Amino acid sequence: MAVYEGARPGAITLPPVRRSPRTATPPMRRVGAESPALPRRRRATARSRGRSPAMGLVLAAIVVAFAAAFFSLSQDIRVSATGYQADRLTTEGRRLDEQAQDLRNQLNRLGKAPAIKALAVDSGLWPLPEPVVVPAR
């Protein structure tokens, strides 16, 4: 019968003690002699506290991704606003073209003599009577 090696309970052992080269074992001293001060330990680094240096890279990547997304969103909004403004200006241009065509039609209609006479009468003007001719002596 085949048994998976990892399925067996392993012996529980403590990790090996690492000693730095600066902390050598002191020589034997006499009893009653002052004990020397222990060397200072180094401060715990980010690695010894459980954080890996990759965590900073992951956080930086997240910040960069959010900044890029925000920039992209602001550009999309700007393009949309420009599109709406272009549509509004196109509509206004068509309206002005129609208004110009209406004014041209009115000028053509009102430029003829009967229309001018009708406008003058409507404004309160009357046609002049026949001219009086005075004979010369």
Residue keyed to tokens 């998976």: 4
Establish if 37 belongs to a structural domain. Answer: no
Establish if 22 belongs to a structural domain. Answer: no
The rounded Cα 84 to chain-centroid distance in angstroms is 18
Q: Which domain holds residue 99?
A: 91-122
> Could you report the per-residue pLDDT of 14-55, keeping only the tens digit for each?
767 666 665 555 555 555 556 666 677 666 555 555 567 788
Structure tokens at 87: 């549509």
Establish if 110 belongs to a structural domain. Answer: yes
Establish if 111 belongs to a structural domain. Answer: yes
d(CA 88, CA 72): 24
Is residue 38 within 8 Å of 22, Cβ to Cβ? Answer: no
pTM attached to this predicted model: 0.38
